[in-house]
Amino acid sequence: MSRLKQLLKIKKLKQFFPNMKPLVIITVLLFTLTSCYNRYNNVSVTEPVKSSVHELVHIPSSKEMKKIEGGSYLGFIGKDSGRIVTVDSFLIDDSPVTVSEYLEFLKKNPQWTKSHINRLYADNDYLHNWEGDFEIPKNVDPNSPVTNISWFAARAYARSVGKRLPTIDEWEYVGLADEQTKDASSKPEFTEFILNSYQNKKTYENPIKADKPNYYGVYDMYGMVWEWTSDFNSVMITGESRNDSATNETLFCSGAAVTTSDLKNYAAFIRFAMRGSLKADYTVNNLGFRCAKDI
């Protein structure tokens, strides 16, 4: 109907401008051409929605980072067994990202809240026990590590504070240190300490930095939560869960099976097995993250 009105208006105008006919016709034609355009567009949906990782609002972070001097160590797993892994110097958060730190991120980046997150980026257990988008549950310590976080979410957080996730090689390198030395991997008691730490339950409920820091001044590498790494999906284990069938061995190109280079690396094997079982949208209640940064 509005089109008709518009036409009538144009006709009135014509009384004042007798030579307008061609113009009117052109106008009408143009209008005809454009009138359907929008609707047509709506049918084939083209607008990518806002929740892209790349449109993050940057937030300040007061998290302390420790400098890790580069170096090398003997790799743990599969084709890496016996490989010398070299790591450049980098910075790493001195503790896992906490619930309250993550809340600050959500406030500035609501597209990552529980109700708005892109379903591509997290499964249904994302921030599982949060009561609302900006509400930390009452029984959760704001200073405990944030968990039920997907890889995508962890990566988005890291970007928003101008950092990144550590690589597996970097994480494992920092994880070699006990309280006194950079590389405690040959100490049986250190391996025992790690293995014991894996047996404690619900450690994700504890506040960060309650235990002693390691050689670098980094807290909670063990005994708190599993942590995401940027390249966790480079770990391949035959018999991984996505297809428990006879075709399993054909899943992977080179059939890179896990072969621990050394039994004493059993603790590392557990971590690699855990990484190998993850998918990027998985959220688990004892899986959190910390950030790293290039120097």
Query: Which residues lie near other proteins (CB under 8 A)?
Result: 3-4, 7, 21, 24-25, 28-29, 31-32, 35-36, 39-40, 42-46, 48-49, 51-55, 79, 118-120, 151-152, 155, 230-231, 233-236, 242-243, 247-248, 250-256, 276, 279-281
Give bridge partners of residue 288 from the DSSP assignment. 227
Please say whether the beta carbons of 86 and 75 come within 8 A. Answer: no
Residue 32 beta carbon to other proteins: minimum distance, rounded to whole angstroms: 4
Q: Where are the beta strands (DSSP E) in 163-250?
A: 226-227
Residue 235 beta carbon to other proteins: minimum distance, rounded to whole angstroms: 7
Q: Using the minimum distance from each CB to other proteins, give the nearer residue, 33 or 263.
A: 33
Measured CA to CA, the distance from residue 72 to residue 85 in angstroms comes to 5
Residue 220 beta carbon to other proteins: minimum distance, rounded to whole angstroms: 25
Residue 37 beta carbon to other proteins: minimum distance, rounded to whole angstroms: 10
Residue 30 beta carbon to other proteins: minimum distance, rounded to whole angstroms: 11
Torsion 105-108-111-116 (CA) sign = positive
Q: Using the minimum distance from each CB to other proteins, give the nearer residue, 115 or 199.
A: 115
Give helix 266-276 / helix 188-197 axis angle, nearest 10°: 40
Residue 208 beta carbon to other proteins: minimum distance, rounded to whole angstroms: 27
Nearest residue to 141 via CA among 208, 224, 93, 228: 208
Region of 267 on the Ramachandran plot (φ > 0 left; ψ -120 to 50 alpha; else beta): alpha
Q: Using the minimum distance from each CB to other proteins, give the nearer residue, 62 or 247.
A: 247
State the CB neighbour count (10 A cutoff) for residue 237: 18
Q: What angle do CA 92, 202, 179 make, to 5 degrees?
A: 40
Residue 40 beta carbon to other proteins: minimum distance, rounded to whole angstroms: 7
Give bridge partners of residue 85 from the DSSP assignment. 73
Task: Fill in the DSSP letter of residue 233.
Answer: G
Q: Using the minimum distance from each CB to other proteins, give the nearer residue, 32 or 180.
A: 32
Q: Using the minimum distance from each CB to other proteins, give the nearer residue, 91 or 280.
A: 280
Q: Using the minimum distance from each CB to other proteins, give the nearer residue, 21 or 107.
A: 21
